[in-house]
Structure 1
Amino acid sequence: MTSPYEWLIGVRYLRAGRRSGRNSFISFMSLVSIAGVGLGVAALIVVLSVMNGFQRDVGARMISVLSHIEVFDARGLMRDWQATARDAARNPAVQAAAPFAEVPGMLLQEDTMKPALLRGILPEQEAKVADFMQGKNAAALDMLKPGAWQIVLGSELAKALHVKAGDHVILAMPSQQSSLNNVMPQTRRFTVAGTFEVGHFEFDSGMAFIHMQDAEELLHVDAPIGLRLRIADANQAPQVAQALKNSLNGDYLVRDWTQRNSTWFAAVQSQKHMMFIILTLIVAVAAFNVVAMLVMSVTDKRADIAILRTLGARPSSIMKIFMVQGLLSGLMGVLAGTTLGVLIAWNLPDIASGIEHLLGVQLLDKNIYFITSVPSQLLWSDVTGVVGVAVALSFLSTLYPSWWATRTNPAEALRYE
């Protein structure tokens, strides 16, 4: 345990320059080391919060459109989807089911052409499994009627095609008679029934909904291609999917939403880890200021060290004095940085909005980042990790200067005093 006098002297050395006005440069270096560690910690907390918020917001918008779980019949079409839905509902985690079909193609409006994925749905069933079907989105999709050849476009897709409700678009897709050497397109005219918006650019700009009956006619089939399931907790989708695969009667292929977007989520998690490592290096560089400050402090306090040694202080006590001084500097920086980082992370969306308004710029391009506002989600586990790493680096930075202080020769240090 550290003796009380060692703590008292370490604290006094930390405060002496500012109190007496002497050794102002050492005092300045102490402030620089505190500020450096604090800014590094704050930056690390804010960046990790942004990465968490980005993953949360984009993931939530993905899940609102994508299926929690998709079930396909290995034999082809799912002709008796109602029976499969009842079979899946025996799992207590499954809350609802809806059939679907997907039609890839190109949408044309005059001289504008955009690729799109058309999903055939039964509106009354889709509302049970899709979180985005609320308010205006639900009203637009409820307008889809079998045989009416209506289409609901993503908001960005409608803007790109320059169409609104009541206008017409042409769907072009390969015909059943197409071959590798002779691709014959088939076309179909749709009336725009409305638009939907989920806040995810990929879906808003490349997806559309049509009625299931119209999709089956386009694909020349008489049944949906699969079943979309909604479960109570989307995070449990892999476990529920595996349970369904084992319990469903028949040969079924089961896929959860994490498999469909595994590359994206893995990339975001990898970026978060890399940002943590890079910004930790910034904290490490700031911790080197503690080394420089302690080295100068040891040089300045050589006479004090010699006097303490002649009074009987052991080398380990001398080392502890300067470790206390350096560690307190680091802890002050960590405390200040944690407070600043947490406050910024909590208020980051408002801060970013204010900066955008003041400078007249948009910080996030929705064509690249899928979202337009800066998200933030503060996780205390991240804060704990950042604080732990910063304190450890601050402690390590005190070891060499403190050890060097024990090498002071009392007779030589007092020779010119």
Structure 2
Amino acid sequence: MSRGAKLSGDARMLRRASLRLGLQTAGAVAVTVAVLTAVAILVVVHGQHRQEDELLQTTIGRADDVTDPPHGVWLVLRGSGQGQVSPGLPRGLPDEDALRRTARDHLARTDDLSVAGREYRVRTQPRGAEVAQAVLDLRDAHRERSHIVRALLLAGVAGLVVAALVGAWWGRRTVTPLSEALALQQRFVADAGHELRTPLTLLSTRAQLLRRRLSREVDHAALRSDVEGLVADADRLTGILEDLLLAADPRAAAVDAPVDLHALLDGETTAARAAAQRRAVEVEFRSEARRPVVAGSEAGLRRAVNAVLDNAIRHARTRVRVHLTESGRDLVVDVLDDGPGIDPAVLPRVFERFASAARLDDGGTRRYGLGLALVSEIAARHGGTVSARNQHTGGAALTLRFPRAPE
């Protein structure tokens, strides 16, 4: 994939992130507007009801006769077998049931009635020897409430549009530095890979030419062995570089080749013994797995094993043990050292980048740079895990778990 294609993909990722932030902002504003609208409607409705009740009570208390109530209100008076009704009282009113109950128990009551598709608020209460009932048409109140709700909805929609635009703009400003940092990292890895691939190829070619020349000589077995190791190391380094480039591209397909974990561990522990001997550390490998095959990248798995082995050898006092066992459908690699162990303060974050800790019991410092963090990333890419603990007998134990490849 070309650099231009990668940058185009980053631009698409940036636009998608900005859009998501805009939509999230709009969603938050929508919830806020909905809550505020509901609260405003409740306040308006409560205020209208209070005003309506006050109007009905005032009408009953101050009206001299049934022709006196204000516009939109009708008055009914009942007493001594006679009754008066305001002109124009809508059909279906008054509320005879409320009049009878109030006349019987002398208790005031307020009800909302729907008559012929229109709503009314009815107040019935004793008035001297009479029972008075005031009826209020609620059309004006409903009309006012509809105007308020419409205005709130229009303001809410406008607010949502503005919030989405502002959220997308702000999201783009927020994500842009991250995108630039990601592009810089990708350029660095890609450039490093491009620059390293050529010298590695030359190294491998020159070593192969040297091996051909030595093959004509019969008395250079030891030198030939060293050259064989040089070629193997160059091939291994090339594989690691290819794996690094693969890991740097999130759009690249994962490698899913069968890898013999037993052979890989045997080869890496053998290769590590030279460095271990310089530290007077013995490296032991033992395998109890019957079919130690995992699916993934051999170069990536090799990087993980090398990092764990290097960490153990650097901190061991005398011995490093590598055990390959089975646990259900998983293959388990335990790397044990007899060093100072891991500081409990840093143990929960030992697989973070550049975590470090000091153990003061031997005056030494146990440091962790990128190695174990990369181990965690490689294990996750292969569907596995890595964990760390301190042994009861002293020293650290790092455990890699990988799912066994299907047969």
Look at both structures and tell me which one has the larger radius of gyration over its CA atoms: 2
Larger relative contact order (Cα-Cα within 8 Å, sequence gap ≥ 6):
1
What TM-score, normalized by structure 1, do the two folds share?
0.24
Instruction: Compare the two structures and name the one with the higher strand fraction.
Output: 2
